[in-house]
A and B are shown apart, each in its own frame.
Chain A
Amino acid sequence: MAGSIEERIAFGPGAGTADLVQPLAGRLHEWIITVDYKRLGLMYIAGGLFYFVVAGLQASTIRLQLAVPDAGIVSPQVFNRLLTLHGTAMVFLVGMPILIGFFNYLVPLMIGARDLAFPRLNSFGYWLWFFGALLLYFSYIGGGGLQGMGSAPAVGWFAYAPLTETPFSRGNSTDYWILSIFLTSVGSTATAINLITTAFTMRCPGMTLNKMPVLVWLAVVDAGLMLVALPPLSAAQVMLLLDRYFGAHFFDTQAGGSALLWQHFFWIFGHPEVYVLVIPAFAFASEIIPVFSRKVIFGYEVMVAASCAIGFISLGVWAHHMFAVGMTPAGNAFFVTSTMLVGIPTGIKIFNWLGTMWGGRIRLRVPMLFSIAFLFQFLISGLTGIMLAVAPFDWQLTDTYFVVAHFHYVLIGAIVFMIFAAIYYWFPKATGKMLDERLGQFHFWLFFFGFHLTFDTLHLAGLAGMPRRIYTYQPGRGFEELNLIASIGVILQALGVITLVYNIIRSLVAGRPAGKDPWDAWTLEWLTTSPPPEYNFTQVPTVHSRRPLWDLKHPGDPDWKYE
């Protein structure tokens, strides 16, 4: 069988630098000029994790301020900056780079290719992201501008007009918000072009489209969504810059411009963006759950079709973020219906994952723990999503902590949990070292209980009427206990993340060697060494089924007999 034996070659990433013993400057220079997609993928993930800690600390400060009434730890202005940067950074500086990094690293390996289609474009995209990310936090220094007004942006992550227009947003803080997001979005678009092209043109012999791993299919759907969802925000940001610097009137209500138009443009981007972030979580779950259930994924074709349907429907639901604006009954009806439609393919996916686990020999290792928690938490976030899709219900609860709790259930309960699962699952491949199982279990339970303490209670605070984005509240309104519990949950989550960081460092220094295939998995990335050499496979593999490694390990009963 072609490509079944891979040999450890000295100059793979990580190994080569050690062998050549270059001076530190030379080694850093290598990382800067690299066009190796695996290095860039790891750089994306490392950068994302760095900002995860930064924006997480900002969130912790927010929760500290809200732990008790009239806490007075930060001023209202500082609070607004904290929540703007927390939201913006978690989406563009954490979620996007980590997910892009994983796809970068995994897609070529999983389709048996040696590289992405456009390696230099990949490096270009990374450095756009890198400097865009720096610009966002540089606003703390440069945001005051010549007028010395403000520092970091304080306009919220969706930056509603006309608050962002020059009269209401002096100084340069909003400009930093615009430029930072614009650059990172262009970088992400470049990666999306790269991923789609790679999946369609670089697959190894035998890997027809319906033999691609589910993760690669979801990478294609995700990249397709990025192609059409990111440009609307970039375009609207160009308009905003024209308003601010050239006297245009796009969102200038004094000259007949429409503040509502910004909301439409933002959410035409903003809603699909949620799916851009969550589809990679689906992708990780679709690889991890079968391996730890020892079963082939249930309903491959339906899974792929449901993902395409989710991507498609998500382009037509944006105004459910705007029910409170007051739309026509026809508009309300359309966006209520289209939003509820998303529930159908999503439900299909949940049943498929359950069907995969059903009757399997489930191994409760750390990646599987996170995946199972993901299933239930994602289900709950989907159900509160359907509640919020009902326009009259949304009128009651819009801009309350119920909404905050709902989308954090998606962003943390689904996406961050699956990112953790993916880290535990693919860390051995990328580094050649296993993460410690006991520390991982510790991390899981700390984070799990912390997450539920914080966000289950915030649903109740929202139902009790607590508005989002308030910097403090008075005693005696029924918010105190709930907020205190929520803030205590943050401590457990932080301890969980510290455990993960400690686990990673400990494993890098003295981890147990992983070998090629520590999980007894079935996709092509486990065929090569850990870490893989720069060119991935000494011989390009040939596949005959969706689980090529199963075929290799069980020549008497290969999958291609049944597909």
Chain B
Amino acid sequence: MSSAAQLRMGAATHTMDAPPLIPDPWALPSRGRAGMIALIITDSAFFTIFVAAYVFYIGKSLAPPYPHDVLSYPLFNTGCLLSSSLTIVIASRALHQGSIRKFAAWWFVTLVLGVEFLIGTGREWHRLIYQVGLTLRTNLFGTTYYSLVGLHALHVTIGATAIALIMGLTWSGAVTQQHAERIEVFSWYWHFVDAVWVVVFLTVYVVSTR
């Protein structure tokens, strides 16, 4: 009988002679995973308020430009960011299996995709500011658009900086198989940033341009 089964039986009877068995080894979730989940929950709450403000002010701008006049679907950018979630998983699994070269290659692809997303956002902002003339001050759309998309871009920037740092450490030979769990925990942050983009894409580029 497994110790877990004994534990369950022990809990069911009220006239035990010996204290309930303690599973050996005593295993609990890893600190990194639990901490990252908590961080993602609290960051989601932060994003929620910015999304709520954006949605609340859809159609309430007193002056043009309006979203449907100036926004187009950033499909290439979105494709880059979403596929970077895939490449980071491939990289992370490669490290779990101990293949540093494969890890380094896919990690680099992830970095390129992340940076490309930031460049794309920069180009969109450049067009909106210099051609359309939309800034944070223009109207409520400008206020909420730049703050929400900017908050997300800030998260991508933080993530890309960390990825670049790990890339450098990998090239200097400091990353080994024993870091696989930390890399995986970090990749959860990257997935989170991706998932937030799906929400931002739907509210900003799809719902508010209707």
Q: Which residues of A contact B (CB under 8 A)?
A: 117-118, 189, 192-194, 196-197, 200-206, 223-224, 227-232, 234-236, 238-239, 242, 246-250, 255-258, 261, 265, 268, 542, 544-545, 551, 558, 560-563
Contact = CB atoms under 8 A, between A and B. Distances in A.
A246 B49 CA distance: 19
A150 B22 CA distance: 63
B16 A200 contact: no
Contacts of A542: 22
B179 interface: no
A561 B16 contact: yes
B178 to A, nearest CB: 19
B165 interface: no
Interface in B1-51: 11, 14-16, 19-20, 22, 26, 28-31, 34-35, 38-39, 41-43, 45-46, 48-50
B53 interface: yes
Interface stretch (B71-79, B121-129, B134-142): B134-142
Contacts of B130: none
A498 B61 CA distance: 56
Contact of B137 (A200, A227, A238, A246): A246
Given A200-B28, A255-B62, A560 B16 contact: yes
Interface string B165-191: 000000000000000000000000000
A561 B42 contact: no
Contacts, number: 121
A258 B35 CA distance: 36
Contact of B38 (A196, A234, A239, A562): A196
B49 A228 contact: no
Given A242-B136, A249-B139, A256-B140, 4 more contacts: A118-B35, A224-B41, A231-B46, A257-B143
Contacts of A248: 136-137, 143, 147
Contacts of B136: 242, 246-248
Contacts of A234: 46
Contact of A189 (B28, B42, B56, B60): B42
A563 to B, nearest CB: 8
A203 B34 CA distance: 13
B139 A255 contact: yes
A258 B38 contact: no
Given A202-B28, A242-B147, A248-B136, A227 B34 contact: no
B16 A203 contact: no
Contacts of B57: 256-258
A192 B42 CA distance: 10
Contact of A193 (B22, B42, B49, B53): B42
Nearest to A261: B56
20 contacts: A117-B34, A201-B29, A201-B31, A204-B26, A206-B20, A206-B22, A229-B45, A231-B43, A231-B45, A232-B49, A235-B50, A239-B53, A248-B143, A256-B57, A256-B60, A258-B56, A265-B53, A545-B19, A558-B19, A560-B19
